């Protein structure tokens, strides 16, 4: 840390400046949690993207003669089905790979939707204050008073579960933290002199909000985004497990756990495999989130 | 040539301070009926103790705060009558805190160039050239243009702020304590720069400071503010050598202590000059 600060300072007087991306790279490589998290996350994302090429079987094809084959580390495991098959004889590894697509799609889409809603509300409340703030704060409080799981359950069973329903539902429910963080960071910056300077120059309010203010609160919002992504992924698994989220035969990890639950005493791997996958994904996202937060902490410069 | 670069007529700004949920809010007259005129090319120093309403006044002149009462005239035209963009080309601010006046996420070049982009002056080539020219003028080395504000010293940052304020070639600068956040040694550099620029570009300055010592060598005229009101104004000569108002005298004695034994000024009895004004 200290030698980094030194280089940054000495660049003022004589040395050529250390380029911005170099300093970001150094900090990135210096943070172990962030490194581990991003590597795991990158692997899962690549696996999801290339699932059609990586998957040894079609995740939907049933084969009654190959039901409940255990994974390779069991005595009865076969190389043909490395992670075994489920009760309908579908290849577990293939389902797991395609399941990563569902988890990531839902995590990212829900976080983006809620991020847009929450950031817009929070920035408007923080920037304009007064009556705008009062109304938006009331909306935030109302949202905070709603139990997310209960509302999601009720709405999903009312509308009927599907991938789209889950995304929209979670997107509409998970924006509160974005709003709170955006509001407070905006309040801190609202009176900054660079904002005043842009106003005097005649910049429009949208310009000030999007080009001057937003880049300065983005890092805080990205951290929230990782948290909400993990949150959404877990909620999707829960909804799917309860049968009102993503519907069969989609290979959602939550659904895989649900379908395996009657076998869990004799073939625990049926739920252990999707369960561990879920845990690793959420852990990786949280490590990345924590790391990004640390990266954004001031380091000799504001 | 307008008669006055800047004219304030009976300018006021009142705040209601909340005293908890059940008490009546109290009225604070932060700026209370100030009238002032600055001729083109003149430098007016506005001095007064902390909290007397100087920044509130500057904000109203810059259009950042609506006056409760009164008008601001820029080059003989009422502020509200022309657009923000038109105003920006005539009047620009230099703020006190160079650490908060530059967007930390933009490079110096982008910061200085922003006014040209907002006002759609020239193409990107000519804009970049203009940035280099103005940086040269304010003594900012070209290699700093690619850096971020966090990598610059306070004095360098204030030069950036001055470059940004001047790139549209306004005729008036409103400087609200432009040096009070800087090191003493850097203060002098920035003040000299401001004076050189004034000569070179024929600028009009409203120079706000709580420190009479800072303005002594720069200004043509001085206006003294106390609790939202002007208590005295006059030429530099008049104020520094023949101050009439007891508050001005007290301010002077707190800055210019010819007799070291006087040292720190005594606690002032404010009632005496309240009556006098
Ligand atoms: N938005 C506001 N709401 C309520 N009171 C305010 C507001 N802005 C300023 N004031 C009050 O108005 C008075 C004048 O403030 P101002 O910032 O103009 O003082 P100043 O002369 O610039 O002081 P300094 O030398 O410390 O910068 C202060 O008492 C301040 O508390
Ligand atoms: Mg002030």
Q: For B57-71, how does the pLDDT look when each residue is reduced to its tens digit (9 = 90+)?
A: 999 999 999 999 999
Question: pLDDT tens digit string along A63-75?
Answer: 888 888 888 888 8
CATH of the domain at A213: 1.10.3720.10
Q: Is B178 on the interface with A (CB under 8 A)?
A: no
The verdict on residue A147 lying in a domain is: yes
Query: What is the residue with the minimal CA distance to atom 11 of ligand 1?
Result: B30
The verdict on residue A100 lying in a domain is: yes
Question: pLDDT tens digit string along B158-201?
Answer: 999 999 999 999 999 999 999 888 888 888 899 999 999 999 99
Binary contact (B151, A198; C-beta < 8 A): no
Count of the separate structural domains present in chain A: 1
Atom of ligand 1 nearest to the CA of B17: 4
Question: Residues A34, A287: contact at Cβ < 8 Å?
Answer: yes
Q: Is B156 on the interface with A (CB under 8 A)?
A: yes
The verdict on residue A109 lying in a domain is: yes
Environment class of residue B9 by beta-carbon count within 10 Å: exposed (0-12), middle (13-18) or buried (19+)? middle
- Provide the 3-class DSSP secondary structure of residue B101: coil
Q: Provide φ and ψ at B169, rounded to 5°.
A: 55, 55
Torsion over CA: A44, A50, A54, A55 (sign)? positive
Strands B172-176 and B204-209: parallel
Question: pLDDT tens digit string along A178-235?
Answer: 999 999 999 999 999 999 999 999 999 999 999 999 999 998 999 999 999 999 999 9
Domains located in chain B, CATH noted = 6-90+170-276 (3.40.50.300)
**Closest-CA distance of chain B to residue A214, Å:** 10
For residue A12, give the nearest of B140, B37, B168, B32 by alpha carbon: B140
Question: Residues A296, A219: contact at Cβ < 8 Å?
Answer: yes
The pLDDT of A86-100, averaged and rounded, is 90
Set of chain B residues whose Cβ sits within 8 Å of the Cβ of A20 = 148
Mutate to test the interface with A, among B103, B164, B208 (most CBs of A within 10 A): B103
Where in the sequence is the domain holding A273, given as residue range(s)?
43-56+63-296
CA distance B114 to B127: 10
Instruction: Please tell me chain A's helix, strand, coil percentages from 3-state DSSP, rounded to the nearest 5.
Output: 75, 0, 25
DSSP symbols for B15-80 = EEEP-SSSSPPEEEEEEEEEEEEE-TT-EEEEE--TTSSHHHHHHHHHTSS--SEEEEEETTEEGG
ipTM metric: 0.87
Q: Is A212 on the interface with B (CB under 8 A)?
A: yes
The verdict on residue A257 lying in a domain is: yes
For residue A120, give the nearest of A185, A183, A212, A199 by alpha carbon: A183
The verdict on residue A7 lying in a domain is: no
The verdict on residue A262 lying in a domain is: yes
């Amino acid at each position: 840390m200290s030698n980094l600060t030194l280089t940054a300072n000495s660049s003022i007087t004589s040395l050529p400046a250390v380029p911005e991306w170099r300093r970001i790279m150094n900090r990135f490589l210096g943070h172990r949690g962030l490194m581990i998290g991003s590597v795991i996350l990158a692997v899962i994302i690549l696996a999801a993207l290339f699932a059609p090429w990586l998957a040894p079987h079609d995740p939907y094809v049933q084969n009654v003669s190959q039901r409940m084959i255990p994974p390779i580390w069991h005595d009865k495991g076969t190389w043909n089905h490395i992670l075994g098959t489920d009760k309908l004889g579908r290849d577990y590894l293939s389902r797991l790979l395609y399941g990563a697509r569902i988890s990531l799609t839902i995590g990212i889409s829900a976080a983006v939707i809620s991020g847009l809603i929450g950031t817009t509300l929070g920035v408007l409340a923080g920037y304009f204050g007064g009556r705008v703030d009062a109304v938006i704060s009331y909306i935030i409080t109302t949202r905070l008073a709603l139990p997310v799981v209960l509302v999601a359950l009720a709405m999903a069973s009312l509308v009927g579960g599907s991938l789209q329903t889950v995304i929209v539902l979670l997107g509409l429910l998970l924006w509160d933290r974005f709003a709170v963080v955006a509001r407070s960071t905006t309040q801190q910056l609202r009176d900054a002199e660079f904002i005043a300077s842009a106003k005097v120059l005649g910049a429009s309010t949208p310009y000030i909000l999007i080009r001057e203010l937003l880049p300065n609160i983005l890092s805080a919002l990205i951290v929230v985004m990782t948290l909400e992504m993990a949150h959404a992924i877990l909620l999707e698994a829960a909804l799917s497990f309860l049968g009102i989220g993503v519907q069969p035969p989609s290979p959602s990890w939550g659904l895989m756990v649900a379908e395996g639950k009657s076998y869990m005493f004799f073939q625990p791997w049926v739920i252990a495999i999707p369960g561990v996958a879920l845990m690793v994904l959420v852990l990786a996202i949280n490590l990345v989130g924590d790391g990004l937060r640390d990266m954004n902490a001031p380091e000799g410069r504001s | 040539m307008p008669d006055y670069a800047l004219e304030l007529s009976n300018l006021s700004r009142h705040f209601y301070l909340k005293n908890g949920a059940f008490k009546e809010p109290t009225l604070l007259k932060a700026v209370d009926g100030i009238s002032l005129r600055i001729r083109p090319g003149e430098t007016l120093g506005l001095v007064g103790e902390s909290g007397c309403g100087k920044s509130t006044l500057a904000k109203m002149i810059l259009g950042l705060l609506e006056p409760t009462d009164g008008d601001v005239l820029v080059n003989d035209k009422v502020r509200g009558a022309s657009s923000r963009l038109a105003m920006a080309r005539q009047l620009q601010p230099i703020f006190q805190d160079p650490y908060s006046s530059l967007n930390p996420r933009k490079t110096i070049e982008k910061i200085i160039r922003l006014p040209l982009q907002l006002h759609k002056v020239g193409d990107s080539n000519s804009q970049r050239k203009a940035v280099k020219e103005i940086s040269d003028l304010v003594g900012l080395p070209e290699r700093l243009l690619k850096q971020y504000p966090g990598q610059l010293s306070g004095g360098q940052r204030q030069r950036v702020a001055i470059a940004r304020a001047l790139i549209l070639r306004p005729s008036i600068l409103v400087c609200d304590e432009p040096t009070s956040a800087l090191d003493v040694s850097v203060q002098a550099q920035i003040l000299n720069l401001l004076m050189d620029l004034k000569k070179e570009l024929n600028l009009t300055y409203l120079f706000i400071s709580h420190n009479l010592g800072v303005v002594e060598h720069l200004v043509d005229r001085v206006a003294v503010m106390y609790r939202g009101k002007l208590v005295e104004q006059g030429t530099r000569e008049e104020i520094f050598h023949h101050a009439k108002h007891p508050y001005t005298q007290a301010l002077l004695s707190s800055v210019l202590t010819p007799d070291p034994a006087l040292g720190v000024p005594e606690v002032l009895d404010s009632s005496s000059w309240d009556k006098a004004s």
